[in-house]
Amino acid sequence: MGSPKDRTGHYLPLSPQDFHVLLVLRDEPLHGYGIVRAAEEQFSEHLGLDIGTLYRIVARLLEQGLIREVEPKKSAQPDGRKRRFYQITKLGLQVARAEAARLSALLRSPAAADLLEG
């Protein structure tokens, strides 16, 4: 097995929407609408997360092992409507961290700094 960097490098760069979904699933397990709402609350920019796009991302992240399905708490489904909850995996967390570091390094580059100041 390679180093964590080798393992995460395979997944980078992440698309902005994949990255946002990983970030909102970092704190607690969420279902589909919960992800949409959390993304809207946490990121002021418009993500364009319609349900079709969202579930393609969810399917991809599940396939890559970056998120997993978890059993919901009973209190989380008061209306009886069954929903699946998703949570970030250890690998997903490493990938999200690596993506954050990649973006941070990119922003620290002289060219990016020049753009932001200009």
Residues that bind other proteins (CB under 8 A): 31-33, 36-37, 50-56, 58-59, 80-84
**CA–CA separation, 75 vs 3, rounded Å?**
40
Nearer to other proteins, 59 or 107 (CB): 59
CB of 71 to other proteins, least distance (A): 15
**CA–CA separation, 24 vs 41, rounded Å?**
10
**CA–CA separation, 33 vs 91, rounded Å?**
24
CB of 58 to other proteins, least distance (A): 7
CB of 84 to other proteins, least distance (A): 5
Q: Which helix (H) or strand (E) holds 68?
A: strand 67-70
